[in-house]
Chains A and B, each alone.
Chain A
Amino acid sequence: MGKRRKMALAIYVGAVMAAGAVALAGTIGQWGAVELGMWELALFIGLAGVLDVMVVPVAGGGGAAASFAIFFAGLLLLGAGPTAWVVALAGLWSEGVVRRKPLVRTGFNISHSVLSLMAAGAVYGALGGEVGRVELPGQLPAVVGAAVCMWLMETAWMAGAVALERGGRMWRRLRASLGPVLALDGALASVGLLMALLYQSRWQLISASSWRETLFVGAIVLIPSGLLYYAYRLQGYLRGVYVQSLRTLGAVMEAKLEGSQPGHGERVAALAAGMAEALELPADQVEQIRYAGYLHDIGKVGVPGELLSRGRDLFAGDPEALRRHPEIGAQILAPVRFLKPAAEMVRAHHERWDGLGYPRGLQAQEIPLGARLLALANAYAGMTHHPSTPCLNPQQALDRIRQAAGSRFDGELVETAMSLLSPASSPGHWFEQRGSDLATPSESNHGRA
């Protein structure tokens, strides 16, 4: 991370925390206006504590917590000021105690939630909403406005931090996260509104807190939010399982094929996906590029072994039978509809910018962007890690790639690759550092033999 970006991140985090602290301190006076029974207080804090731990990871970085529901209910029933304290307590518990995040992170997360909440409270009031007396359909605009404000602001704080931490423009990060978070937060806002309505109707009529009502309202909030959390987590978990399957199968293939370099698929995937991220492509496209990286040589299972084991110069022509492997690879992946984009990239990963590549001799923009990235990554990984021919060091490899810009490779992409990979900008091959915490499956294969 560059020094300037680090500085910007520190300033951003510091400013948000200071504003959050001021806002929180300013609400102390509002507590007097709130009348809460023991059961109600226990319900709010208990639900906030449980739901704040349920965090769903979000595309584009960061996460969204199920506690959105209870905070929104608090905003409608108690007002933004008192709810801000519930937010702070829940944050201290979930971030500080349960997840043991560093103090700064905990403080930052609490602060931005408090700020979003205060802003949403202001919107609610401005649109004619009354705290503790929600009435539909009259106050519907106020309710919806407050929910939209909370959703936008929460996502924006997160996108800002992620953009400063990992690079990329904040607007793109925000756009990538808004959609996925909308579905979740919309459903949670619905739970929060229901809680507020039930609470108003039952509690105030019965006019005494009782454990039965507490249990009922608790279940109404907890069960749907918990179910949402579970379904979203399952989806994310299975996505992870899928990536792991592809990596393992790619490694199995590498171990089986003569002349292949263990870890090649991993390297190509990390490099190509890294470049795709730097180009700020949409998250699902980056994923497909990663998948294609793991599997780009799968078609070599259909090529005789003696052709694969021969040491060869990367820039020399490939024998006819070997030239068929991109097509075979695409055919192997064809039955999996989900991998269609990746299969197209695999088919075209030996095409050249000048049209002299194979199998179809596509030219320039006709070649899918992912395939152009794969070609670059494949060449770089092949030159820096090769089993039989002597390896080039990164600088030499980059020099050779630069020579081939405009003929073999897309010139613009070469520039991207340069800025990412050249030893001058970050000598540590950041893509390898990032990959290193994921133990390369094929290495363990060979370690044993």
Chain B
Amino acid sequence: MQSSSKRHVAYMLLVGGMGYGVLVLLSVGRWREGISVSVLWEAGFFLGLAILVGMHPVRLPRGATTTVGFAVDYACLLLFGPAVAAWIGVLSFLVLLRRSPWLRQVFNQGHVVLAFAGAGLVYQSLGGEYVEPSSGVALGGMGVALVGCVVAYFMVSSLLISVAMGLWEKRSVMGMWAVSFRWAAPRYLALAPFGLLMTMVYQTEGLGVVAVALFLVPLVGARYAFQGAMEMLEVNRETVHALSNALEAYDPYTRNHSELVTRYGVLLGRELGLSGPRLEGLEWACRLHDIGKCRQDWESIIRKPGRPSDQEWEVIRQHPVEGSRLAERMEFLPHTAGEVARIVRAHHERLDGSGYPDGVLGETIPLEARILGVADAFEAMTARRAYQRRRSVESAIEEMRRCAGKQFDAAVVEALAGLWERGELEVGVTLTQEATLVPSRGGAAGGGGS
């Protein structure tokens, strides 16, 4: 946190301060209405629930995590109103974030209070009523209010967080908000029905706590199964990573090639606005783009001096096709299936239609394949290899700019140049990377290492 700017700190404190202020106002209002001990007990139960749920995050692909806390938050709001719900949020954060820096704690507590206050305001103004346990209020007929308060909660929460992230990473707030919106909105929509069901279950005469517990058991089971699935996905990634590196590691011509192409490709993809499944698909395609070169006679064909014969040329032209066939067999995620194969197939196409294997033109080449084509060529030009002097990055970019519009997509080349000028592009491998990428051969004997 030392490096955070003054504006960032000021903003975090401001949100925290506003939150505490609103919490006091809400509490005073609620106190005047009168609050019974039994409601406090029930709120305590939900506080425990919120902490429990918060301590068991669900893992998502690529190491991110999320919690299903919003379902509990929503139930709390509908059952107890914003004041008690805000207290539950603040107290649960006290436990959940106890190891975080104090500034983050203050911000998070403030932001949850403001989100609840906003949601409560919208809910009441749309005619929603809080259904305090055994108050007999039915939720039916309040559809608009129920949806409205989810939207309000999400808008307040995501805007407050986007501003904080924008100030922290010095990026545009709207850009951050667009990303978080796309990522988080579906999650809120999916979790809201769970919150609603939990509320209705809790309201049932004489069941309350027991019913909520029974309702949670299958959700916990699903969470563990989902966790297992995500672990499998991670294991798959690690394995393909290790094996594809190994397949290249002992060949001085290809060593680390796919590893580096993957790094460049992902950087370029992010720079050009790809995210989520598309970025994921691009990453897999980069890792596997040369897998179609698996032929015992590949080396002799490709290293032969002089022009390749028609037959050999056919073999070369076919490697993206073969690669896409293999990639197809390794279908990864439901949402990337087929995509990876399509990208691999098109990574030697050129904008002017002179590429192979299909000779397609311009925009009909998938963006991911155009990115992969640039990353592939850039790695080939800048690689430090036994047989070839390393070309400087500047001259490689210069060369690619010359071919932009014919061989390469100009926008992708410019994105590459931009990354390099801003110093965000690390070219080649470092010594520590070298050690982890290439398994040691355990001795000096063996084929030609570099």
Contacts and interface: CB of A to CB of B under 8 A. Distances in A.
Interface in A285-311: 295, 298, 301-305
Given A191-B217, A304-B447, A321-B446, 20 more contacts: A186-B217, A190-B217, A197-B204, A197-B214, A227-B222, A228-B225, A231-B221, A231-B229, A232-B225, A241-B330, A244-B331, A245-B330, A256-B296, A320-B445, A324-B443, A327-B442, A335-B241, A335-B242, A335-B436, A449-B295
Interface stretch (B49-57, B157-165, B179-187, B245-253): B245-253
A198 B433 CA distance: 59
Given A220-B201, A302-B446, A331-B440, A244 B226 contact: no
A184 interface: yes
B219 A227 contact: yes
Interface in A138-188: 183-184, 186-188
A303 B223 CA distance: 45
Contacts of A305: 447
Top 8 closest A-B pairs, CB basis?
Answer: A187-B221, A231-B225, A224-B218, A190-B217, A194-B214, A238-B232, A187-B218, A235-B229
A147 to B, nearest CB: 12
Interface string A331-371: 11111111100000000000000000000000000000000
Contact of B222 (A194, A230, A441, A444): A230
A237 B229 CA distance: 8
A328 interface: yes
B232 A235 contact: yes
Interface string B413-450: 00000000000000000000000100111110111000
Contact of B226 (A186, A216, A231, A247): A231
Given A197-B211, A246-B239, A332-B243, A303 B446 contact: yes
A252 B294 contact: yes
A241 B237 CA distance: 11
Range, interface on chain A: 35 or more
A98 interface: no
Contacts of B239: 242, 245-246, 249, 336, 338-339
A335 B238 contact: yes
Contact of B211 (A198, A230, A231, A336): A198
B193 interface: yes
B439 A334 contact: yes
21 contacts: A193-B214, A194-B211, A197-B207, A197-B214, A205-B205, A219-B193, A219-B197, A228-B225, A242-B236, A249-B244, A255-B294, A305-B447, A327-B442, A331-B440, A334-B242, A334-B439, A337-B238, A338-B231, A338-B238, A441-B326, A448-B318
Nearest to B204: A201
A28 B275 CA distance: 59
A184 B228 CA distance: 14
A4 interface: no
A191 B440 CA distance: 53
Interface of B: 140, 193-194, 197, 200-201, 204-207, 210-211, 214-215, 217-226, 228-229, 231-233, 235-236, 238-244, 246-247, 249-250, 291, 294-298, 315, 318, 322, 325-326, 329-332, 334, 436, 439-443, 445-447
A405 B249 CA distance: 38
Contacts of A304: 446-447
Contacts of B217: 186-187, 190-191
A255 B219 contact: no
B442 A324 contact: yes
B345 to A, nearest CB: 15
B210 A136 contact: yes
A42 to B, nearest CB: 20
A416 interface: no
Contact of A298 (B221, B246, B445): B246
A214 to B, nearest CB: 13
Given A186-B221, A302-B441, A332 B215 contact: no
Nearest to B328: A248
B295 A252 contact: no
Contacts of B326: 248, 251-252, 441
Contacts of A246: 239
Nearest to A229: B222
A6 interface: no
B299 to A, nearest CB: 9
B218 A191 contact: yes
B331 A228 contact: no
Contacts of B235: 242, 336, 338-339
A298 B244 CA distance: 11
B165 to A, nearest CB: 30
Contacts of A190: 214, 217-218
